[in-house]
Structure 1
Amino acid sequence: AIAVLERPPPPKDHETLPGEAEGSTITDQCSMALVESIPLHIKYKDNETFGIPLEQVWKHLLLIATSRVEVASFYWTLTGEDINVNSSSDIPGRDIFKEIQELPSRNVSVRVVSSVPTVKTNSTDLKILIQKGVKVRKVNFGRLTEGVLHSKFWIVDRKHVFIGSANMDWRALTQVKELGVVVYNCSSLASDLHKVFQSYWEMGQSNSSLPQPWPAKYDTNINKHHPLQVKEENSTSSLYIAVSFHLFFKKGSDHFVFPSFTVTEITAQCAWLWC
């Protein structure tokens, strides 16, 4: 899944903020922020500006979850022994893993989609989550079309969203530079991203096949030409979600046909998060 955020330049004194432009959809007041993780021992100047730490955002999303959490990730490895490493730098990953395991006991439904094949590790994360009551499905893109499930996103209570480059990997929290965006209280965006998650979920069944055409319930009117207008404080941002495989291309949505990989490009007015 790809989140594209287009933020217009600040208006001049005599200009008014963008209203409901033709071909756009206005949503509720959403709160949106860039998220990043910085590897340990990397030094920056004191006046550098940073995003919200990834660990902080993940923990906050788990804390505020009241009904459901849905996670898409290429693979899971939240503890060091998964790759035969003994390091205290996996503690944030262990903490996240523990909190996810505890969600079902709080009556919070958890669903996870992952890829098969995936990165080879000794990880038992998904087996442990299943034992704790988490529902897990694995999508074999190679059987259905080509490539792998490379999306990384969270949907919490169908109103909060995280999309970024980080897999469910302890190294994403302490060893690797990652970038993402968190959007709070944005049910329009969350509902649209849920259609992507649900398409993965359906394709994760052992006897699944790609529907031709996709059912109308997966249609969307939020896309590059009809973006979601997110109002926040004194600015309005345009936002839409796209999927990379053309066979997963739902009516109305955008798609990208290059191979699945992670790229992050930041400019003064636009942030593309390809996950």
Structure 2
Amino acid sequence: MTFRPLLLTFATAWCLGIPQSALAQPGSEPPAPATRLVQSIPAETDLADPALPFAKDVWVDLVRGARTSIDAAEFYVTSRPGSALEPVLVELEKAGARGVKVRFLLSSKMLDQDPASVARLRHIPGAQVRSFDLAGVSRGILHAKYFVVDGQVAFLGSQNFDWRALEHIHELGVRTSDARIVTRLAQLFAVDWTFAGTGKLPDLPTPAPVSARPQVELVASPPFLTPKDIRPSIEALVELIAQAKQTVRVQLLTYSPVAGQDRFWPVLDDALRAAAVRGVKVRLLVSDWVLGGRALPHLKALALIPNLEVKVAPIPEAKEGHIPYARTIHSKYLVVDETHLVLGTSNWEESYFTDSRNIELIFRDSPLAAQAARIHDRLWTSRYAFALDPAKVYEKRKVD
């Protein structure tokens, strides 16, 4: 490498915020990508993507590498002896013992899921655990799932802090050292940590308007708890679907335009229908948790629209027998034209966008989108997925 190209490389890295130590030197391995997709796959299935790491390994690696701090926001925690979450909890205990500052936010409505594991978090040396309770301001919950390590690297995805999410559920997340994401996640954690401690909504000043959409963007819900320079997730989702020219792929646990007891919430329904009407090929893949639910007639209606296909993906029971709240698809992502990816923590129902803390990451013109499209196609064409029949009566699936 000559002096001039080397100088340009370092200059480019400085502009992007990439440390010079991460640059490949002559004869060395190229640096790892700043952001990677991370999968969880139900055991005893053939749905794993051979190119992607598993969350159970990535989590252990991230916690083991912590030197100063681990900030985690999780819907809940639940483990069992010998499960894939046990090594993660062990590494958290080791991190606390070596002086790493550990802070955990947990949803107040889910603390009773596994009191022993909650107590285990509280007993990590020096750890702080706070309950996140929105009851005073909305009907929502803390539904985001992420952690930030040393203020330098983070994980966000559909995986709850649950042994089942690592072993028996189809999930998708990202491991990232991209400062544009990590800084935003740390900012949101600070807001939520303070709210959990005081119960008071933060003062959120209005920032200067931004004219262009960034290539990497963090969006969030609910608006009343989110800094004003972070866009609402629902706004970003509708905008991206409206920009689709060829294909839209969606994978979710649940989808529903029914809000509350008696209201119709057509925001995302209208966006998908409009895309299909203008000729975009729309594929909506949902879990079998929707069978027997109030949204099922609306999903059947979507399946009647030209260019709009709806499939349901049941995952067979494990050999050990029924596992409550498992053996399902739980990933939450949107791929537009195989170039743009939105990956996050929201099911597509109104309350996730208006009442609860959720986070989505947008990657525009990114190779991650093609990877996510490949994951969607693998499940879409697998033996686990079937086309929703508008004329068929379905039995409700046993969940708990």
**Smaller-chain TM-score range?**
0.7 to 0.9
Q: Which residue of 2 aligns with 1:53?
A: 54
Alpha-carbon distance between aligned partners in 1 of 2:190 and 2:208, rounded to the nearest angstrom: 13
Q: Which residue of 2 aligns with 1:31?
A: 34
Q: Deviations for 1:78-105, whole angstroms, at most 9, x for unmatched residues?
A: 226xxxxxxx5x2x11111111122111
Q: Which residue of 2 aligns with 1:208?
A: 199
Q: Please state how far the C-alpha of 1:251 moved relative to its aligned partner.
A: 2.2
Q: Deviations for 1:228-255, whole angstroms, at most 9, x for unmatched residues?
A: xxxxxxxxxx211111101013121111
**Which of 120, 128, 148 pairs up with 1:155?**
148
Q: Deviations for 1:190-229, whole angstroms, at most 9, x for unmatched residues?
A: 1221111111101112x42113x3268xx799x89442xx
Would you say the 8 A contact 1:164–1:179 is kept in 2?
yes
Q: Which residue of 1 aligns with 2:129?
A: 136
Q: Please state how far the C-alpha of 1:56 moved relative to its aligned partner.
A: 1.2
**SS in structure 1 of the partner of residue 109 of structure 2:** coil
Would you say the 8 A contact 1:154–1:163 is kept in 2?
yes
Alpha-carbon distance between aligned partners in 2 of 1:49 and 1:101, rounded to the nearest angstrom: 31
Code of the residue aligned with 1:273 in structure 2: it is L
Matches within 5 A, 1:47-196: 49-79=50-80, 88=82, 90=83, 92-118=84-110, 120-132=112-124, 133-184=126-177, 186-196=178-188
Percent identity between the aligned chains? 23
2:229 pairs with 1:239: no
Q: Deviations for 1:112-164, whole angstroms, at most 9, x for unmatched residues?
A: 11111127423322222212231111111122333100000110110101110
Q: Which residue of 2 aligns with 1:83?
A: none
Q: Which residue of 2 aligns with 1:13?
A: none
Code of the residue aligned with 1:43 in structure 2: it is D
Code of the residue aligned with 2:58 in structure 1: it is V
Alpha-carbon distance between aligned partners in 1 of 2:218 and 2:146, rounded to the nearest angstrom: 11
Aligned length: 224
**SS in structure 1 of the partner of residue 91 of structure 2:** helix
Alpha-carbon distance between aligned partners in 1 of 2:79 and 2:188, rounded to the nearest angstrom: 24
Q: Which residue of 2 aligns with 1:255?
A: 232
Q: Runs of 5+ in structure 2 lacking a partner?
A: 1-11, 20-32, 236-258, 260-329, 346-400
Residue 179 and residue 138 in structure 1: after superposition, are their counterparts in 2 closer, same or farther (change >3 A)?
A: same
Alpha-carbon distance between aligned partners in 2 of 1:79 and 1:200, rounded to the nearest angstrom: 28
**SS in structure 2 of the partner of residue 114 of structure 1:** strand
Residue 209 and residue 244 in structure 1: after superposition, are their counterparts in 2 closer, same or farther (change >3 A)?
A: same
Residue 264 and residue 113 in structure 1: after superposition, are their counterparts in 2 closer, same or farther (change >3 A)?
A: same
TM-score by length of 2: 0.51
Q: Which residue of 2 aligns with 1:10?
A: none
Residue 263 and residue 161 in structure 1: after superposition, are their counterparts in 2 closer, same or farther (change >3 A)?
A: same
Would you say the 8 A contact 1:73–1:115 is kept in 2?
yes
TM-score by length of 1: 0.73
Would you say the 8 A contact 1:263–1:273 is kept in 2?
yes
Determine which structure has the larger strand proportion and give its number: 1
Q: Please state how far the C-alpha of 1:58 moved relative to its aligned partner.
A: 0.4
Alpha-carbon distance between aligned partners in 1 of 2:46 and 2:343, rounded to the nearest angstrom: 24
For the aligned residues, what is the CA RMSD?
2.8
Alpha-carbon distance between aligned partners in 2 of 1:107 and 1:168, rounded to the nearest angstrom: 22
Would you say the 8 A contact 1:159–1:189 is kept in 2?
no
Alpha-carbon distance between aligned partners in 2 of 1:31 and 1:70, rounded to the nearest angstrom: 19
Determine which structure has the larger helix proportion and give its number: 2
Q: Which has the larger radius of gyration?
A: 2
Alpha-carbon distance between aligned partners in 2 of 1:38 and 1:262, rounded to the nearest angstrom: 10
